[in-house]
């Protein structure tokens, strides 16, 4: 089942995908990234080890040469926890470190797309929510929106419904995104 609702790949597109089924998440992310591959957009994935493996396998099953794309530099696949360690200080995102770390990654991958925008998927915020660091996750969402003023990218964020602890967290997450997929009701 393809989740074609997450098509926009234009600058400033910052979508959130709430999920309860990891297989469906990985299919939706692969759809989003495959559309970017087809458009020649450089791609960035910042995810947990299991999701990186599943997304990559799905793209390979669709006959994308992911290994070649990584070697060429047009695709970067990074670990969410390792990226968090580059800018988190005392449990909070450090603005300058975030800008330096993510800005450098976006600049590096964008070198291989010419005028194309970077198409990205990230779940650092979900990792933070899973650790009970809801305020930090919302701050990171805000930092992504600030970074969009200096870099051209289209971003899809993944959040497990298990990690969205309240109506307020859900509302805060939605408020930082241009598109919401997999909307949920918090009990």
Domains held by the chain: number:
1
Q: What is the pLDDT of residues 31-53, one digit of tens each?
A: 999 998 988 899 999 999 999 99
Percent of the chain with pLDDT over 90: 73
Name 180's bridge partners.
Answer: 16
Domain encompassing residue 42: 14-181
Annotate 74-133 with DSSP letters as a single string.
SEEEEEHHHHHHHHEETTEE-HHHHHHHHHHHHHHHHTTSTTPPEEEEE-HHHHHHHTT-
Return the pLDDT at 142.
95
Residue 45 lies in a domain: yes
The one-digit pLDDT tens for each residue of the chain (187 residues) are 333 344 455 567 899 999 999 999 999 999 999 998 988 899 999 999 999 999 999 999 999 999 999 999 999 999 999 999 999 999 999 999 999 999 999 999 988 766 678 999 999 999 999 999 999 999 999 999 999 988 889 999 999 999 987 889 999 999 999 888 886 544 4
Smallest CA-to-CA distance from 33 within 84, 74, 68, 72 is with: 74
Residue 174 lies in a domain: yes
Predicted TM-score (pTM) of this structure: 0.90
Residue 112 lies in a domain: yes
CATH of the domain at 69: 3.40.50.300
């Amino acid at each position: 089942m393809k989740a074609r609702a997450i098509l926009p790949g234009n600058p400033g597109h910052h979508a959130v995908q709430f999920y309860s089924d990891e297989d469906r998440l990985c299919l939706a992310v692969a759809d989003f990234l495959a559309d970017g591959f087809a458009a020649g957009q450089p791609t960035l994935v910042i995810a947990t080890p299991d999701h990186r493996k599943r997304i990559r396998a799905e793209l390979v099953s669709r006959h994308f040469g992911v290994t070649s794309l990584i070697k060429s530099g047009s695709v970067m696949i990074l670990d969410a926890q390792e990226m968090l360690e580059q800018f988190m200080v005392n449990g909070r995102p450090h603005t300058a470190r975030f800008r330096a770390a993510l800005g450098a990654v976006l600049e590096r991958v964008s070198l291989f797309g010419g005028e194309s925008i970077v198409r990205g998927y990230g779940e650092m915020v979900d990792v933070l929510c899973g650790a009970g660091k809801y305020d930090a996750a919302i701050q990171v969402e805000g930092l992504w929106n600030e970074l969009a003023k200096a870099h051209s990218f289209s971003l899809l964020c993944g959040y497990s419904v298990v990690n969205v602890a309240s109506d307020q967290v859900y509302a805060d997450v939605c408020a930082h995104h241009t598109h919401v997929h997999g909307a949920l009701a918090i009990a």
